[in-house]
């Protein structure tokens, strides 16, 4: 079996790999590198549009964790700014229930 001498793409330490396509020394480095590149809003780019209040009932949050970003049309693939609104948990649940947003998918 061939052993390849590599340098970890994330932490820059040397390591030996049994596969030639291995570029990280550990799963931890792979995970950290992935998260560092995408940043906090990498998986959910719409998160930066979150306001500090509910746009439906006017609830003012002590912390932004009390608020959700809602896709107005129910399509989670449509991250256009005009399709996003900030809702408190109660308004978000009620809107999702009434509109049956879980039944809608990408067009």
| b/e code 18-45 from CB counts within 10 Å (16+ = b) | eeeeeebbeeebbeebeeeeeeeeeeee
The C-alpha angle 73, 76, 80, rounded to 5 degrees, equals 70
The C-alpha angle 98, 100, 106, rounded to 5 degrees, equals 140
pLDDT in tens, 50-105: 899 999 999 999 988 899 999 998 888 888 899 999 999 999 999 999 988 777 65
Please give the DSSP secondary-structure letter assigned to residue 36.
H
pLDDT in tens, 13-54: 999 998 888 989 998 888 887 766 655 555 677 778 889 999
User: Can you read off the two tokens belonging to residue 17?
Assistant: 């790999």
């Amino acid at each position: 079996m061939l052993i390849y001498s590599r340098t970890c793409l994330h932490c820059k330490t040397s390591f030996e790999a049994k596969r030639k396509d291995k570029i990280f020394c550990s799963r931890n480095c792979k995970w950290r590198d992935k998260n560092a590149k995408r940043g906090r809003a990498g998986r959910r780019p719409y998160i930066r549009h979150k306001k500090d209040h509910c746009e439906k009932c006017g609830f003012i949050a002590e912390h932004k964790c009390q608020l959700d970003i809602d896709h107005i049309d129910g399509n989670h693939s449509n991250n256009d700014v005009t399709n996003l609104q900030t809702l408190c948990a109660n308004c978000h649940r009620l809107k999702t229930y009434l509109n049956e947003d879980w039944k809608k998918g990408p067009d």
